[in-house]
Amino acid sequence: MSDKDASVASTTSAAMTVEAMPERLRITEIFHSIQGEADAIGWRTVFIRLTGCPLRCVWCDTEYSFYGGNWRAIDDILAEVASHGVKYVCVTGGEPLAQKRCLILLQRLCDAGYDVSLETSGALDVSPVDPRVRKVMDLKAPDSGEAKRNLWSNLDHLLPHDQIKIVIASRADYEWARNAVAEHALEQRCMVLFSPVHGAVQPRELAEWIIEDKLPVRFQLQLHKLLWNDAAGH
């Protein structure tokens, strides 16, 4: 083979490799459990936890997803999801949208007929997310240490089936959240969830504040924390 032939062969082979390369994502874990929060609470659900997050919330309970993980082909992820025989799939993290190919995964899951939700920090643009996906989007209150990361323009990309979640660690966080609801008419966009930080605010205290102020929000406790004390894999 001449040098020229070898070069053409090598270019062709490189092109084929790129073409044949499967779409991959870095995955921390895939597990079958019970949905512990938001509107699908209580349903058997497969969780796909993507690795990595650009935020560092003080009370983060999934720090193990910041690093590591394994590269998995999207076809392979879909095959594992199918093996569990569920209707509900939740794509979470970390911050799943930090990996661009998450958008492809979401679309493929919807195409396969699953009821798909996405848990996202609210710091990254949600506008390209498939509209069939139910977004559960955080607004970060001050005690998270990441309130400056709230991308407020995301509010304009929420659909009625989406949810806004505010995790509350103190009375000051509660007042911030109450003001955010009023200022941005959040409850007119979609369901608003208030959730206490485990061990920081007494759940009953938060419930009573909501009742006292007659807020148009839904109180929630995380079922998986009650059932499994937040162990990984649940």
Nearer to ligand SF4, 46 or 55 (CB): 55
Within 130-149, which residues bind ligand SF4 (CB under 6 A)? none
Instruction: Tell me if 113 is assigned to a ligand binding site.
Output: no
Per CB under 6 A, does 69 bind ligand SF4? no
Length of the chain: 234
Question: In the set 33, 121, 195, 220, which binds ligand SF4 (CB under 6 A)?
Answer: 121
Per CB under 6 A, does 37 bind ligand SF4? no
Least Å distance, CB 105 to ligand SF4, is: 17
Least Å distance, CB 166 to ligand SF4, is: 12
Instruction: Tell me if 59 is assigned to a ligand binding site.
Output: yes
Least Å distance, CB 121 to ligand SF4, is: 4
Per CB under 6 A, does 181 bind ligand SF4? no
Least Å distance, CB 140 to ligand SF4, is: 7
Binding flags for ligand SF4, 74-103, as an x/- string (CB under 6 A): -------------------xxx--------
Per CB under 6 A, does 220 bind ligand SF4? no
Least Å distance, CB 31 to ligand SF4, is: 16
Computed over its alpha carbons, how large is the radius of gyration of the chain?
20
Helix/strand/coil (H/E/C) assignment for every residue in the chain: CCHHHHHHHHHHHHHHHHHHCCCEEEEEEEEEEECCCCCCCCCEEEEEEECCCCCCCCCCCCHHHCCCCEEEEHHHHHHHHHCCCCCEEEEECCCHHHCCCHHHHHHHHHHCCCEEEEEECCCCCCCCCCCCCEEEEECCCHHHCCHHHCCHHHHHHCCCCCEEEEEECCHHHHHHHHHHHHHHCHHHCCEEEEEECCCCCCHHHHHHHHHHCCCCCEECCCHHHHHHCCCCCC
- Residue ranges of the binding site for S-adenosyl-L-methionine: 59-61, 94
- Positions in the binding site for ligand SF4 (CB under 6 A): 53, 55-57, 60, 62, 93-95, 121
- Residue ranges of the binding site for [4Fe-4S] cluster: 53, 57, 60
- Residue ranges of the binding site for Mg(2+): 62
